[in-house]
Amino acid sequence: MIDPTTRLKTRHRFIDYLYWNLVVSVPVITACIAIAGISILWFIVYLVLCIALITLVYRFYCTHCPHYSADTKTTKCMFFWGIHKYFTPRPGPLSLLDKAISILAPVIMVGFPLYWLFLRLDLLVIYILSLGVVGTTIRRYECVRCTYFECPANCVPADVQDQAAPRG
């Protein structure tokens, strides 16, 4: 839901979750096809690695987000819907460790399949283009209206942040 006065996204809808997971599925499936075409073992390793890294991001990044801190038993955000909140919410800025994990985990997920993708240049092109779509779309449509102002990627203008800040 978009706040009409600030244009910030105060609540995600299930359709947001579906959209973003479809967008992210293109590079993930492309990587899976490239890896599985050569080695089922490495494909399984990639899937386990992705699950582990996503869990780390959920723990070290997502627990800071206002959507995670919402008064619900499960998450309702653009990437996680209906998942139990296993970790204690930690509102506020990311620590250095949180930032490191939040940056390294996606870098590893994106970098891991490159060996197999270089063996299939057609899939490498799809992978790179789809990653570009994911990154630019998130930046263009989410970061400019995100309520987590402490996020390093947040690009909500300062005047909108000031307008949205609770008065006390």
Looking at the domain assignment, is residue 91 inside a domain?
A: yes
Question: CB neighbours of 87 closer than 8 A, spacing ≥ 6?
Answer: 58, 59, 63
The pLDDT value recorded for residue 168 is 43
pTM attached to this predicted model: 0.88
User: b/e per residue, 151-164, with b = 16+ CB within 10 A?
Assistant: beeeebeeebeeeb
What is the domain range of residue 43?
Answer: 15-134
Looking at the domain assignment, is residue 25 inside a domain?
A: yes
- What's the number of domains the chain is made of? 1
Looking at the domain assignment, is residue 40 inside a domain?
A: yes
DSSP state of 81: E
Looking at the domain assignment, is residue 141 inside a domain?
A: no
Question: CB neighbours of 166 closer than 8 A, spacing ≥ 6?
Answer: none
| Average pLDDT, 10 consecutive residues per value, the chain (168 residues) | 81 95 97 98 98 96 92 92 93 93 96 98 98 96 91 89 70
